[in-house]
Structures are given as structure tokens and as C-alpha cells.
A and B are shown apart, each in its own frame.
Chain A
């Protein structure tokens, strides 16, 4: 079973307890009569983190102190699925080393974003049960203290080559292309990625999102952010696993431009 096979549908029988692990997050599933019980457990020790482990029966053994959630799904429902989805708020990416793009140049970065998990029940008509982040990112504020936006903070190496990055089943690679058409050099101290407009795709080795293209025209000029509607083309891409949380609208473009003035963290 490959690491990315964890996103497939799984069967659960009455009275059965299944355990699945994605990075530091363990998922527990239990079926009793017409109810499906789901619990999450976050492993504290980094050395216990495995990449991914599909649902396996644990013969009635379950971790103590689990906080189970109960969903009435019906007697016939014996299938569930866990899918990756982008975080529910924008992510502010802090490159480990500040990046500078001279005027007239463009650069492509691969930002690895930890996904959230969406648990669905049912075979054809699926019911959404709950969502949980695999990694808990710290909160940050993007913008001024009066009218900014609450985001997640993410330290990233912002790699230039996809072959340099390690594939990880609970991180989606987001290709970000930045063009500097302004007359000045662009210093990127941090970058706000509106991940709520990104779809998630399954690739050969990685999870992927659609490409983001940012055109910087200057501090005082309105910038432009494009979210590609095409699948990323950096490795063979399979099906789309989850749609964007929010469709791209003109108003969102304006908001992104508003944040653009803080693009370089000044």
C-alpha cells in the first residue's frame, strides 16, 4: 500500500475498530449499529511519526482517553473516506532565507503546505463528518492591527526545484510563481497564500495544488494574483481529491492586492 493510498475509500463492519495514521495524527473509527464514531489522537513524540498508515483493524484495542464524536449514518453505511483539503485560513509563508527578485525577473517556488483532513461517510452520496488539521500551525496576523487578516504561519524553505523536496503524504506542494514587473527589486520576507482558493490533486509522489501566479507591479500599484484552473504539470497528476473551499471572486482579488503592500513584510 503506497503512502498516497490512504485517501482511498475504506470499509468498516459493525463493531469493528479501525486505526489509521497520517503523520503525527492518529484517526480512530468505530461502527456501532447505525452510528459511526470518529476520534483523533495527536502523537507527541516526533520519533513516533510515520508517513501514513491506512485503516487497519485493532481488535477492540483502542487508545485510552479518546474524545469520540458520534454520527448517525444509518445501518447500511459501511464506507468512509479521508481526504486532504487546504487549511481554512490563508497561510503566511516565511522563507527561511529572505528571497530577492530583481526587476523584470520571475521565479517559481514550491511551498509545502500541511493539509487538513476531511472525513466523509458513504459510498456514492457522501456525508461530510468533520475536519481536522494534521499539523497545528501557529496563528499570525497579516496586515495592520486595525484591518488585517488572521492567517496561519508557516516556515518554508520555498524550494526552487521539486526534486529537492521530500514527498510527504500530509503536505501538498503549492507552486507559486512570482513575477516582478516593478521598477524596484522585490524583497520577499513573507508571502500570504490564500489557500482557501486552492484545489488538491493526487500526484505520483506528492499531493499538489493548482498553481498560483503573483505579479508584483510596485508598492503603490495594484498587483495581480491568478489561481490556475489547470492541474499542475510537474509530475503525472491523478484525480482532484478536494475542491477549493471558496471560489475565486473579484473581491478576493482586491483583498489580495490590499495585502500586497505588506508583501515584503515591511
Chain B
């Protein structure tokens, strides 16, 4: 009350100040809705021509640039001198720059990511142990939605420094399945059964052709690589169906999938390990005391 009472209202309420106040209200009242409208229009136009992240960048760039112009205009109407303001902003900029090295690094990394385009919004990527679909590529970070529907924010700097795998960049992918069969099995039969499974699975592509590679003589099994190509959208359907089909078909064909086992020999590989059956000794009753 004392503060209000101390104000000289007759000096403050002048025609000039009223005019300035009206201009500020008009600037803010018309400027921001107009800016939002321009952003929406530009976003829509950019969406048709550019990738989602470029259109988002254009929209945000217009918004930030317009907002700064509006704020400067409002400050000018309020009587602030722009030269002094810009000088102060320069000094503040240096101070803020020192304090926000990480943020600046992230912004520069973000610009590199946008220009290099290793991934786009909607791609499924893997960074370290995190796997998720890209929701947005911003100036400071990339936001992922993981497969179990969690939001992960990864700073752009770490994306530049670390290895990033773009899982869905190309339209088709290869599913590699390691399979071991018992030593007694016919390698040719295993190969033909696997190729037949691939041929009959609706999610396997005919071309590029499925691959069955005899990898090595393993400790407990003959080891094969079974590789089939699929359209990236069919990953779960293919993986579920083909694993089940391999098990069912191997069971039907009598092909054994062995578990790790070890054979013990007693000096000669042809003679069985001697087993002696001994009668169990009758337990003597304990004497009391």
C-alpha cells in the first residue's frame, strides 16, 4: 500500500505511456497467436517436403526466432534501450556459455546428428543396452520410447560419442538363428528341413534366399547358422512362428537338439565305463548311551 501510495500516478499515467501499453498489449495479443499460426502452417508445409525431424526443427526455429523478436519489440516499447540490452546480453552470454558447456556441446552434437541423419523419427535404434523407437530429435537430446513403453532421454553428445545401431534403417532384415543338432544326425537332411521351414513360413522372403551354414563341430552338437530375410515390420511374427516351427518339425523328423553333455572314458574309447553294483550295507542299530 505504501509502495502504491508513493507512486506519482499523474506522472505515470500519461498519453505516451498509455499508447505504449496499448501497443504492448496489441503486440502480445496479436503477435503470439500469429506466430503460432505461422509455425503451424510452416510445420504442415515442411512435413510434406521434409523428414519429420527437419519439419520439427523448422517449426521450432520459427517459433524461437519469432518469440525473440516479440520480446525485443515489447522491451523496446517499454523504453529499454536495445544497445544497452544487447551489450548486457553479450556479457550474460559469455557467463552463461561458461556455465553451460555441456548444453552447448549437446546443441552442436544435435546439429551434427540432424545433418548426418544416422536415424530419423520412427526408427528403432539401439544405444548401449537401450533399445527404442525415436520419438523426437531435439537440439539437446533424443527421446526414445522403449519397447516396454518407457521414455528415455539420451543427450546428443553421448549419441555422437557412442556406437548407435539403427535397426530399422533398411526395409528388410535378416534373422540369424543358431541351431545345434546331435552328432548322429544327417547334415543334408537338417539342411533340407530348415530350407523347407523357411519356404513354408509366410514371413520369410524367397529372395534374398534363406541361408543354412554349417558352422562347426561344437562340444555337444553340430552347429548351424539358419538365416532368413524378412520385412522389418514382421520381426515378432517371424521370430515367434519360425522358432516354433523348427522345434515342431525337428520333433516330427526325429532330429535331436542336444543339450550340453560330457562323455567320460576310462582309457579306451570303445569300452564302457565300468560300473559295479554293490549291495547296501545294513545299518547297525545304535547302542543307547
Residues of chain A whose beta carbon lies under 8 Å from any beta carbon of chain B: 92, 136, 138-142, 145-148, 150, 153
Kindly provide the distance from the CB of B168 to the nearest chain A CB, expressed in whole angstroms: 13
A140 contact from B170, B171, B203, B206, Cβ within 8 A: B206
Decide if B202 touches A136 in the complex (CB within 8 Å): yes
Interface check B231, CB cutoff 8 A? yes
Decide if B170 touches A139 in the complex (CB within 8 Å): no
A136 to B203, CA, bound (A): 11
In the complex, how many residues of chain B place their beta carbon closer than 8 angstroms to a beta carbon of chain A?
A: 13
A180 to B205, CA, bound (A): 30
Interface check B208, CB cutoff 8 A? yes
Proximity string of chain B (194-237) to chain A, C-beta cutoff 8 Å, 1 when within and 0 when not: 00000100111111100000000000000000000101000000
Decide if B170 touches A138 in the complex (CB within 8 Å): no
Interface of B is mostly: loop
Decide if A145 touches B172 in the complex (CB within 8 Å): yes
Q: Collect the chain A residues with CB atoms within 8 Å of residue B205's CB.
A: 138-141
**Given A139-B231, A141-B229, are A153 and B206 also a contact pair (CB < 8 Å)?**
yes
A140 to B205, CA, bound (A): 5
Q: 27 A-B residue contacts at CB 8 Å?
A: A92-B207, A138-B199, A138-B202, A138-B204, A138-B205, A138-B206, A139-B203, A139-B204, A139-B205, A139-B206, A139-B231, A140-B205, A140-B206, A141-B172, A141-B205, A141-B207, A141-B208, A141-B229, A145-B170, A145-B208, A145-B229, A146-B171, A148-B171, A150-B171, A150-B172, A153-B206, A153-B207
Q: Collect the chain A residues with CB atoms within 8 Å of residue B231's CB.
A: 139, 150
Residues of chain B whose beta carbon lies under 8 Å from any beta carbon of chain A: 170-172, 199, 202-208, 229, 231
A146 to B168, CA, bound (A): 11
Kindly provide the distance from the CB of B231 to the nearest chain A CB, expressed in whole angstroms: 6
Q: Collect the chain A residues with CB atoms within 8 Å of residue B199's CB.
A: 138
Q: Collect the chain B residues with CB atoms within 8 Å of residue A148's CB.
A: 171-172
Q: Which of B172, B202, B203, B208: most chain A CB closer than 10 A?
A: B172
A145 to B207, CA, bound (A): 10
Q: Which of B171, B202, B203, B207: most chain A CB closer than 10 A?
A: B207
Kindly provide the distance from the CB of A147 to the nearest chain B CB, expressed in whole angstroms: 8
Q: Which residue of B lies closest to A140 (CB)?
A: B206
Q: Which residue of B lies closest to A155 (CB)?
A: B206
